[in-house]
Amino acid sequence: MDIDRRADSPGLVVAKSILRYNGHALREQLIRQRAIRATDVPVRTREVTREWLTAVLCGEHPGATIESCQIEDVSSGTSSRWRATVAYNRAGRDAGLPTELFAKTSRSWTQRLLLGMAGVLTGEPGFYKHIRPHLDIEAPNGYHGAVDPASGRSIALMEDVAVTKKATFCTPQTPISRKEMEDLLGSMATWHGHYWNAPELERHLFLNKTPHTFVGNLARFAGLEKRAKVGALRARDVMPQAITPIHDDLYRVLWRAMDLTKEGPQTFLHGDSHIGNVYKTESGRLGFGDWQVVMHGHWSYDVSYTIATGLAVEDRRAWERDLLAFYLERLSEAGGTAPGFDAAWLAYRQQMMWPYFGWLLSIGRSAIQPKFQPDSTSLGMLERASNAVLDLDTLGALGGSKSG
């Protein structure tokens, strides 16, 4: 292998990215910059100013300005999160501008490394600018998004549904009824049908990845195969013993599952539609937040992920066929071309691979990988996903067989 080809190796790409993102993060600690113009990309609460908030929220409303704001840090994981309450002058109040804000940023160099390597830095800003305005679904409204590719700084500024709708986010421990799951799948059918083979899937760069691209990036740059083995050891107490002997076979057919997401009709995908990204409003609606991993691909990738992680094992076993039929009916109503049930059932079974391996990556993370979710969440997801893989014979559905 010559030197020029080695320059494109995943290890060298990661090393260069670590140096670049870490260098920017260190300089930011020393310079302590503050955001003033709309083109600035603040990632820390101390960088946010009334001038910047006025620029990004009031630009289309002459005379409107922000008079005061209160900002507080919330949490840090894959992204850093903060919320703000702002007060406007009379022109801003008369315009009905948003007062309760929630922001997600890439503050640390490890966040920038992971999001950059996974190709999802531009996902949420793109969703709120180009996709959300065209969908009648339960989801936060978006107000501003920006990315600086050189430094990896990014921000998505959106509605704080915890305040505006008194929403609470779900975990695997949150009971989800059949009616609530139908609410989620109905919304999913809405965006799948609206963007069924739509030109926007090729027009927008932030949608140019597929599940195969996304998982492939994690395999190369986050060491998915190794981290999944570590994760399987850490999660062995919550998973059926029968899954351990076929782990390597499952990893092998994972790539067949990802290949299948590129076949057939393509649509807009949430891309990370697990139950931890779902919230319940005070009025009882369920909606998806965290639109960071948006992509395009086969509808079954989203549907399988939601049902597998959203329902207790016994509920999934009892309801999944009826829920799939419900989704297919809503998909047709929303403009998609729904397949026959048998073909849809096979696709649903085949796409149980990422719910399993994605959460093995989470619990099996390395030292430089941000903690996506609390371990209790990862373990809860894996208890459900591993049972789904076995119950539905996903290995057999993908044409695999047990080694030996």
Lowest mean pLDDT among 24-38, 81-95, 367-381, 390-404: 24-38
Query: What is the maximum alpha-carbon separation in the chain?
Result: 74
CATH assignment of 167-397, given 3.40.50.300, 3.30.420.40, 3.90.1200.10, 3.40.33.10? Answer: 3.90.1200.10
| Confidence check: pLDDT of 18 > 80 | no
Q: What confidence score (pLDDT) does residue 11 get?
A: 58
| Confidence check: pLDDT of 349 > 80 | yes
Q: Which pTM value belongs to this model? A: 0.89
Looking at this protein, which amino acid is placed at residue 156?
Answer: A
Average pLDDT over residues 326-333: 98
The CA–CA distances, whole Å, from 160 to 80, 81, 141 equal 15, 11, 9
Q: How far apart are CA 205 and CA 208, in angstroms?
A: 5
Average pLDDT over residues 263-271: 97
Average pLDDT over residues 295-306: 98
Q: What confidence score (pLDDT) does residue 106 get?
A: 85
Nearest to 381 by CA among 329, 318, 279, 309: 309
Q: How far apart are CA 156 and CA 291, in angstroms?
A: 10
| Confidence check: pLDDT of 39 > 60 | yes
| Confidence check: pLDDT of 4 > 60 | no
| Confidence check: pLDDT of 86 > 80 | yes
Q: Dihedral through CA 328, CA 330, CA 333, CA 338, nearest 10?
A: -10
Lowest mean pLDDT among 13-17, 43-47, 320-324, 348-352: 13-17
The separation between the first and the last C-alpha atoms of the chain, rounded to the nearest angstrom, is 34
Q: What confidence score (pLDDT) does residue 187 get?
A: 97
Q: How far apart are CA 44 and CA 105, in angstroms?
A: 8
Domain ranges of the chain: 3-159, 167-397
Long-range CB contacts for residues 62-68, cutoff 8 Å, separation at least 24: 62/91, 63/89, 63/91, 64/88, 64/89, 64/91, 64/92, 64/95, 64/97, 65/89, 65/91, 65/92, 66/92
Lowest mean pLDDT among 75-84, 96-105, 176-185, 306-315: 75-84
Q: In this predicted model, what pLDDT tens digit does every residue of 231-262 receive, in sequence order?
A: 999 999 999 999 999 999 999 999 999 999 99
